[in-house]
Amino acid sequence: AEDGYQLWLRYYLIDNKNLLEQYRAAITGIQINGNTPGLEAAKEEIITGLSGLLGKKIPLQKEFTTGTLLIGTPASSNQIKSLSLPQLQKTGDEGFSITTLKRNGKNIIAIAANTDAGVLYGVFHFLRLLQTHQGIQNLSIVSVPKVRNRILNHWDNLDRTVERGYAGFSIWDWHKLPDYIDPRYKDYARANASIGINGTVLTNVNANALVLTPQYLEKVAALASIFRPYGIKVYLTARFSAPVEIGGLKTADPLDHQVQQWWKDKAKEIYQYIPDFGGFLVKANSEGQPGPQNYGRNHAEGANMLADALAPYKGIVMWRAFVYSGETPEDRFKQAYSEFKPLDGKFRPNVMVQVKNGPIDFQPREPFHPLFGAMPQTPLMMEFQLTQEYLGQGTNLVYEAPMFKEVLDADTYAKGKGSTVANVIDGRLDGHTLTGMAAVSNIGTDRNWTGHLFGQANWYALGRLAWDHTLTSEKIADEWVRQTFSNNTTLLNSIKSIMLSSHEAMVNYMTPLGLHHIMGYSHHYGPAPWWDKAPRADWNPVYFHKADSLGIGFDRTSKGSNALAQYTPEVRKRFEDISTCPEEYLLWFHHVSWKYKMKSGRTLWEEMCYKYNEGVKAVRAMQAQWAGMEKAIDKERFEHVKMLLNIQEKEAVWWRDACLLYFQTFSKMPIPAQYEQPAHT
Ligand code: GCW
């Protein structure tokens, strides 16, 4: 049955006869020497992949025939070495090349890299070429990741619940580890390696110090050894108060020598279990988590202490910038920048500051975070969220790549035009070699891993974008659909069109025109723009939309909170001037009159009615497109998505009606007759 378990690694027989013949003629044998765990993994994958896709066993060879696939590193293979491929000078320790060439008068294809990890990435890339029906004549591919640390952040707790998880429980079965190895761990590693992900943070940023105790470290070590052949390093979240909680110390003050020593000893212990341990991800002094500020120290002092402990082993610290203080700030938007900007240049070289894509919290649409471009002396790492906390959770289909790209392509103007967020995080703008992109995982124990089948596309997109942020959303969707469903053009185009319209559809039925954080309090599911009873003002939707009889929106100009001052003058000017502020960000930055004339000629209120209705219409169009593919998709996956789209349609209507009826109590204007009138309940 098609339950989605295989993800995009479905190696079924190529269903195009001509192509199958071509591939069979072009691939006649495999030459792969060396028996390191990494090369064994590559060998296993290429054998499994080819026997499925080509429907026959491709033999391992020692000699060359026309159609030999020669795979390896100069160290593992004399044949690869003797080719002296010049491109291997550019592929570093993770890139690869795939080249058609002549050997002993025979046409062969060489998949070559400097390391085992590079070979594995090359193998997955080659299999993807076949899965997506690409030509394989005259190949000359050279691919190198643009970002060094490409990481999933699991918000998984030790009791297997997952914070903001909508796909079942945590796949880490702590209870049965280290002796029981769920086969799923290996499939997880394969899936990640296939898209270039090379790190995984196993535990929630709201951390439990217990994971740093020996009982858990041996479990972590077991996972690390399964992931290692696939080029994946394991990281843990470090609870800042661990020295007190599990170490018996009286303080966790980062300037205290005993505390420093405790972390040094802890690091040493961890590396005894896991020699290639990646390092720590830390959430400190945010939402009640302990941190250096508890002792009057700043983020740099906290991060540096951990960095010093990890440095002898080449570990890194990913210190999160998602912070907001004990008291309710006048504008939460400004907090991360206010705390971190002054610390630029104060961090150790093995620290990265991990910044969420936007200033508030993973909303359907956010402007880029003002820290990007503002800390040139500090490597900034991107944090996206795959799990759909504010994006309809388990029931809504939203392809997130367009949202990621919007941020990556945004221009910070930090060093003049062209200083995109992507160039900040890939290190090019400020000359950093320590670089990274992370995303909060959407993976759980559901058979199909991500709950909603289309959640897989977001996991896929994250890996591909971390490898190469210049890929378009369209290209990534294209690859994913071909591998996950089919290469049939009609099907491909329909599914892509659903995916590519889904993000804007969601923005329209949830938070059009720059509205944000108007979801239900705490659980963040469904609309609750009226809510004003949270224990902190900045957890209330009313704090964010500020609707009143005059208008709606958060004034972040110099007349308001002046958060815009955190951007470069170019960006600030564009957002500050209501006539140049893109309308999709309007209510992020301005409190706008209900009667304000929009570019469409409609008033703001009418535009809002229009957008909410467009959102609902778009979901209905997605439903119709999906329904049209019934014959072309297996029943299981067809029904799965169909039922979820039905829920999504209901929810889109719920969002629209709830928001329009509520905001109408301020605008006091009618919903224009051409739109569906909300049912008053
Ligand atoms: O948006 C908030 C989530 C919290 C999460 C936090 C964070 C892990 O609601 O559940 O905690 O973000 O990113 O730290």
The tens digit of pLDDT for each residue in 409-430 reads 999 999 999 999 999 999 999 9
Ligand 1 atom showing the smallest separation from residue 385 Cα? 13
Is residue 614 annotated as part of the catalytic site, yes or no?
A: no
Per DSSP bridges, beta strands 140-143 and 106-112 are unpaired
Residues 56 and 114 in one domain: yes
Same-domain pairing of 247 and 388: yes
CB atoms under 10 Å from CB of 401, counted, come to 26
Residues 6+ apart with CB under 8 A from 496: 474, 477, 478, 481
Same domain, 516 and 463: no
Question: Looking at the structure, do residues 466 and 540 belong to the same domain, yes or no?
Answer: no
Same domain (yes/no): 88, 189: no
Ligand 1 atom with the shortest distance to the CA of 440: 13
Give the chain's domain count: 3
Same-domain pairing of 120 and 160: no
Per-residue pLDDT band for 681 (boundaries 50, 70, 90) equals: low
* Helix ranges restricted to H, 132-208: 183-194
Pocket-forming residues, ligand 1, beta carbon under 6 Å: 155, 163-164, 205-206, 283, 287, 322, 361
Pick the atom of ligand 1 nearest to 289's CA: 14
Domain-located, residue 3: no
**Which ligand 1 atom is at minimum distance from the Cα of 524?**
9
Predicted confidence (pLDDT) per residue in 635-667, tens digit: 999 999 999 999 999 999 999 999 999 999 999
Q: What is the pLDDT of residues 503-543, one digit of tens each?
A: 999 999 999 999 999 999 999 999 999 999 999 999 999 99
Residue 386 in any domain: the answer is: yes
Query: Sorting pLDDT into bands at 50, 70 and 90, what band is 23?
Result: very high
Residue closest via CA to ligand 1's atom 12 equals 361
Segment 445-465 shows an average pLDDT of: 98
- 333 has pLDDT over 80: yes
Which helix or strand (DSSP H or E) is residue 405 part of? helix 401-408
Please indicate, yes or no, if residue 586 is contained in any of the structural domains: no
Q: What atom of ligand 1 comes closest to residue 205's alpha carbon?
A: 8
Q: What is the CATH number of the domain that holds 121?
A: 3.30.379.10
Contact 317, 283 (CB under 8 A): no
- 12 found inside a domain: no
CA 204 to centroid of ligand 1, rounded, Å: 10
Same structural domain, 476 and 606: no
Q: What percent of the chain has pLDDT over 90?
A: 98
What's the rounded mean pLDDT across residues 275-298?
97
Selected catalytic residue, list 15, 21, 159, 287: 287
Domain boundary among 468, 484, 500: 484
Going from the Cα of 180 to the center of ligand 1, the distance in angstroms, rounded, reads 31
Q: Of 239, 287, 320, 387, which is best to mutate to test ligand 1, by the most ligand atoms within 8 angstroms of its C-beta?
A: 287
Helix, strand, coil abundance in the chain, percent, nearest 5: 40, 10, 45
The one catalytic residue among 40, 361, 474, 649: 361
Same domain, 111 and 160: no
Distance 155 CA to ligand 1 centre (A): 9
Instruction: Mark whether 161 and 102 lie in a shared domain.
Output: no
Catalytic residue among 94, 389, 478, 614: 389
Banded pLDDT at 328 (limits 50, 70, 90): confident
CA of 384 to the centre of ligand 1 (A): 12
Kindly give the distance from the C-alpha atom of residue 5 to the centroid of ligand 1, in angstroms, as a whole number: 28
Measured in whole angstroms, the distance separating CA 163 from the mean position of its chain's CA atoms is 16
Residues 6+ apart with CB under 8 A from 277: 224, 233, 234, 235, 236, 270, 271, 313, 315
Is 275 domain-assigned? yes
Nearest by Cα to 511 from 598, 593, 585, 572: 585
Nearest CA to ligand 1 atom 2: 361
**Best residue for ligand 1 mutational test, from 153, 155, 156, 164 (most atoms within 8 Å of Cβ):** 164
Contacts of 471 (CB under 8 A, 6+ apart): 464, 465
The end-to-end CA distance of the chain, in Å, is 42
Residue 522 alpha carbon, nearest atom of ligand 1: 9
Atom of ligand 1 nearest to the CA of 155: 8
Average pLDDT, the chain: 97
Distance 418 CA to ligand 1 centre (A): 31
Reported as half-sphere exposure (CB side, CA atoms, 13 A), residue 236 has a value of 28
The three state secondary structure string of 553-580 is CCCCCCCCCCHHHHCCHHHHHHHHCCCC
Question: Is 455 in the same domain as 538?
Answer: no
Assign 679 a pLDDT band (cuts: 50, 70, 90): confident
Active site residue 21: no
**Structural domain contains residue 4:** no
Question: What pairs with residue 351 in β-bridges?
Answer: 317
Q: Give the residue, out of 156, 170, 319, 361, with the most ligand 1 atoms within 8 A of its beta carbon, to mutate for a pocket test.
A: 361
pLDDT tens per residue, range 393-405: 999 999 999 999 9
Q: What is the DSSP string of 353-376?
A: EEEESSSSSS-SS-PPPTTTTT-T
pTM of the shown model: 0.98
Boundary of a domain, candidates 124, 143, 162: 143
Question: Ligand 1 centre from 634 Cα, in Å?
Answer: 37
Distance 366 CA to ligand 1 centre (A): 16
Residue 580, pLDDT above cutoff 90? yes
Containing structural domain, residue 624: 508-554+591-667
Q: Is residue 559 a part of any domain in this protein?
A: no
Same structural domain, 66 and 165: no
pLDDT reading at 114 higher than 80: yes
Share of the chain above pLDDT 70, in %: 100
What average pLDDT does range 4-18 have in this prediction? 97
Q: Residue 345 maps to which CATH number?
A: 3.20.20.80
Q: Is 389 known to be catalytic?
A: yes
Cα–Cα distance between 335 and 337 in angstroms, integer? 6
Q: What is the pLDDT of residues 564-577, one digit of tens each?
A: 999 999 999 999 99
Residue 220 CA, ligand 1 centroid: distance in Å? 24
- CA angle in degrees (0–180, nearest 5) for 69-72-75: 145
Q: Calculate how far, in angstroms, residue 326's C-alpha sits from the geometric centre of ligand 1.
A: 15
Res 325: pLDDT: 76
Q: Which atom of ligand 1 is nearest to the CA of 361?
A: 1
Question: How far is the C-alpha of 516 from the C-alpha of 507, rounded, in Å?
Answer: 10
